[in-house]
Structure 1
């Protein structure tokens, strides 16, 4: 029996030794998922920079943030630099920190008043009053489109939904960035790994 457990432990260690060469795949997957998100967010802010500044600073219909020019420039540059560095797997842990800050700012200033859900679903466990009220509006919108529009064509690319814009996606990205602080860029698939290998020699 003792030999059996010893043999089992040896097999387990051998499997772990083999699998360690694939442990960079998780970090690579997180990076590949986040890159287009931050690239699109950053380029959209850059292409409409003045609108972004006005939205950041306006207290009536915007975020009402102080120093809107500086805040907009920081958010834009962080997202663009983040997309580039995550693509390369360079300074992965360091760039994850300001990206986390941008997610926290987005959560608090943009998404938090809308609750959890990104897409309104009255049947979901975290449905707030705003989401519950969307059911009647969505039903009315469907009836209007079915009666006066080409409903099949309008919904051929996906179901008709109401965007709730809650914290769901932003929190998901934040958690992924926290994971990258722990994982780094990942074995084999990042410049961080190869730079570390070079200097460790």
Structure 2
């Protein structure tokens, strides 16, 4: 039994690049879309980065907005093709850290408000807004059922209350950290093809 297990594990090298490919294919459209959204409304992003009243109040907002936009848009494209994977992971990791601490941290962990979750009910973190989410959701449903096209509005899924916690940014951070450490893998990867070509040139 143990021998069969070890033999099976040993054969996993045949697909050792697959998880890294899947990470890239998952992250690339997320980053490209985020970068494209910033580029499409760049002036508003600069204003939001710098404004202390309703934004982040960050210094040098023009520079930071440009760097965040470029990191996500260009970095996402590079991730898609597995080109300079480790290098582009670095600014994306920094972007995720800034997003976690400057935008999402005050909301706790959850991306979607769930009053039944131990991640917001006081077991680890108490979030009053999340605890009030069921009442807000019921009020919204009641209004929509009475005055709106509720069936049409919910035909693509249930209504939820956005909490905007660190959950997604932290998940992307972990995925990018894996790519920084292990690279883009050997499937559909420019990095791997270049590395293979260099090895053939030396031999």
TM exceeding 0.5: yes
Partner of 2:49: 56
Q: C-alpha distance in 2, partners of 1:187/1:79? A: 23
1:40 aligns to 2:39 (yes or no): no
CA drift at 1:165? 0.6
CA drift at 1:196? 1.0
TM-score w.r.t. the length of structure 1 is 0.91
CA drift at 1:198? 1.4
Count of aligned residue pairs for this structure pair: 194
1:142 aligns to 2:137 (yes or no): no
CA drift at 1:124? 1.0
1:12 aligns to 2:6 (yes or no): yes
Structure 1 segments, 4+ long, off by >3 Å, are 15-18
Structure 2, unpaired ranges of 5+: 121-126
CA drift at 1:150? 2.2
CA-atom RMSD in angstroms: 1.7
Structure 1, unpaired ranges of 5+: none
Q: Secondary structure at the match of 1:126?
A: coil
Change (3 A) 1:144 1:29: same
Partner of 2:78: 85
CA drift at 1:12? 3.4
Partner of 1:159: 158
Q: C-alpha distance in 2, partners of 1:153/1:87? A: 35
Bigger radius of gyration, 1 or 2? 1
TM-score w.r.t. the length of structure 2 is 0.90
